[in-house]
């Protein structure tokens, strides 16, 4: 909070953007690290607990004077104006605030992204190897890792193609064996010619639930080609929203990136095309007790996609890039995720998966709504959409796993399923 303001008039009622916030320890002191998963703010920022208290009040309704009064009431100390202005300025300079400066940065990023012919591999060298040969070795090792299939299956083309695949979107280095189970299935089947990828949109907020892109998905193994003609026809048929309004969401979203990566490994980058669709949160429907199929935006998208697929002569595969439960302190729970919580999470996941195995989207949603989505199933929206498109088709559970994170007392569960 010692940063000096830049000379611009201070923002009187600051608004913090949607960010990840998690505790860190430095020299025995606890701080909060703010990170922007959308990538607009490239560098995380670490702030003290007093500053974090103020940030929680940056909702656009508290003036600077009111923020100072709240700080004094909470900590019994006066907050100098220059310290508050320094905090606001530092966050604005870093693009953490919803402000004109941030809007200009987004416009710049959007222009750069839309000018590119492909969507870059944002997490190459971070979550997986950037070097193609090293990447192949890394993926092959997932098959031999504990919990993996045990080896790469021999390719076959005499089995009917899969209808759908549920694969994780957790960091491949944490969920590698589950990816191996999922994408190993493709090696034993007739190759799909069209792959619809439904990914969780972690950073999309607002009324637009479905977001497409015309861009190919670049990977270290080559660019996975997007079927632009299919995407354009789908967008024209979908009347309940603009599928390209939030296309920038694809820039940093990992849920489709990881599927493109494993498709490139399993199928190469020729002989098929993909339709990348990010699906926003259905949590408002959970709160309202409304089945997604009753929402015109969801019903309209499902109808449009069904109609396009009905005209297809190519064999089509529908992939959902999803994770399941997010529990523990990192995700806002008052409890830490320990082995007991992990056992409860697995049992609840397996009960939910029974609906997937029956191809029952209504039962799947009802199971989540019954508990108010307290386990925060971040793959709810893509999986529900996939199940509606493949309604009634049976699924096989290939693997279920839980990634424990002791340092944050949290856990994420995920699974791989094949839909025949």
The verdict on 198 and 320 lying in the same domain is yes
Would you say residue 173 lies in a domain?
A: yes
Would you say residue 112 lies in a domain?
A: no
Q: How far is CA 417 from CA 163, 183, 369, 407, 413, in A?
A: 11, 10, 22, 29, 14
The tokens of 220 are what? 């270290």
Would you say residue 113 lies in a domain?
A: no
The verdict on 229 and 90 lying in the same domain is no
Q: What is the DSSP letter of 420?
A: -
Q: How far apart are the C-alpha atoms of 195 and 201, rounded to whole Å?
A: 18
Given 74, 107, 140, the domain boundary residue is 107
Pick from 160, 178, 125: nearest CA to 321: 178
The verdict on 194 and 314 lying in the same domain is yes
Q: How far apart are the C-alpha atoms of 47 and 19, rounded to whole Å?
A: 14
The per-residue pLDDT for range 189-242, each reduced to its tens digit, is: 999 999 999 999 988 766 799 999 999 999 999 999 999 999 999 999 999 999
Which residue segment(s) compose the domain that 75 sits in? Answer: 20-107
Residues 6 or more apart whose CB falls under 8 angstroms from that of 28 comprise none
Number of domains in the chain: 2
Given 107, 132, 166, the domain boundary residue is 107
The tokens of 395 are what? 């699924």
The verdict on 232 and 145 lying in the same domain is yes
Phi, psi for 172 (deg, rounded to 5): -55, -30
Would you say residue 190 lies in a domain?
A: yes
The verdict on 92 and 133 lying in the same domain is no
H/E element, 141: helix 132-144
In CATH, what number is assigned to the domain containing residue 147? 3.40.830.10
The verdict on 94 and 142 lying in the same domain is no
pLDDT at position 203, please?
82
The verdict on 97 and 133 lying in the same domain is no
The verdict on 97 and 201 lying in the same domain is no
Pick from 413, 265, 406: nearest CA to 337: 406
Instruction: Look up the pTM and report it.
Output: 0.88
Would you say residue 53 lies in a domain?
A: yes
Would you say residue 40 lies in a domain?
A: yes
The tokens of 243 are what? 């599928």
Given 86, 107, 128, the domain boundary residue is 107
The verdict on 287 and 254 lying in the same domain is yes
Would you say residue 138 lies in a domain?
A: yes
CA-angle at 286, arms to 20 and 387, nearest 5°: 95
Those residues of the chain that have pLDDT short of 50 are 1-5
**Residues 210/241, Cβ–Cβ less than 8 Å:** yes
Would you say residue 1 lies in a domain?
A: no
The verdict on 86 and 204 lying in the same domain is no
The verdict on 188 and 230 lying in the same domain is yes
Q: How far is CA 411 from CA 103, 174, 221, 329, in A?
A: 34, 12, 31, 9
The verdict on 150 and 294 lying in the same domain is yes
């Amino acid at each position: 909070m010692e940063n000096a303001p830049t000379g611009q008039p201070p923002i009187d009622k600051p608004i913090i953007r949607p960010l990840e916030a998690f505790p860190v320890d430095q020299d025995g002191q606890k701080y909060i690290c703010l990170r922007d998963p959308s990538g607009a703010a490239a560098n995380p920022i670490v702030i003290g607990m007093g500053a974090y208290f103020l940030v929680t009040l940056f909702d656009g309704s508290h003036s600077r004077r009111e923020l100072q009064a709240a700080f004094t009431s909470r900590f019994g100390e006066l907050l100098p104006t220059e310290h508050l202005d320094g905090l606001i300025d530092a966050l604005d300079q870093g693009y953490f605030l919803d402000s004109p400066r941030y809007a200009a940065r987004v416009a710049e990023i959007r222009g750069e992204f839309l000018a590119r012919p492909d969507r870059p591999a944002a997490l190459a060298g971070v979550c997986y190897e950037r070097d193609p040969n090293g990447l192949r070795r890394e993926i092959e090792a997932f098959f031999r890792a504990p919990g993996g299939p045990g080896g790469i299956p021999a390719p076959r083309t005499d089995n009917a193609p899969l209808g759908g695949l549920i694969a994780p979107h957790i960091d491949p280095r944490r969920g590698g064996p589950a990816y191996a189970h999922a994408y190993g299935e493709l090696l034993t089947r007739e190759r799909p010619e069209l792959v619809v990828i439904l990914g969780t949109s972690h950073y999309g907020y607002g009324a637009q639930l479905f977001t497409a892109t015309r861009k190919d998905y670049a990977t270290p193994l080559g660019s996975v080609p997007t079927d632009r003609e299919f995407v354009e026809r789908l967008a024209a048929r979908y009347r309940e929203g603009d599928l390209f309004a939030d296309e920038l969401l694809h820039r940093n979203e990992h849920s489709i990136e990881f599927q493109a990566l494993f498709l490139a490994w399993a199928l190469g980058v020729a002989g098929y095309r993909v339709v990348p669709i990010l699906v926003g949160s259905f949590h408002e429907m959970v709160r309202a007790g409304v089945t997604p199929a009753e929402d015109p935006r969801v019903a309209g998208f499902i109808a449009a996609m069904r109609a396009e697929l009905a005209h297809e002569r190519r064999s089509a595969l529908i992939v959902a890039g999803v994770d399941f439960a997010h529990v523990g302190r990192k995700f806002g729970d008052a409890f830490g995720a320990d082995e007991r919580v992990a056992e409860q999470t697995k049992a609840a996941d397996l009960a939910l998966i029974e609906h997937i195995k029956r191809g029952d989207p209504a039962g799947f949603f009802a199971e989540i709504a019954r508990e108010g989505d307290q386990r925060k199933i971040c793959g709810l929206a893509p999986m529900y959409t996939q199940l509606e498109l493949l309604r009634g088709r049976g699924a096989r559970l290939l693997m279920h796993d839980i990634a424990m994170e002791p340092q944050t007392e949290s856990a994420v569960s995920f699974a791989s399923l094949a839909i025949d």
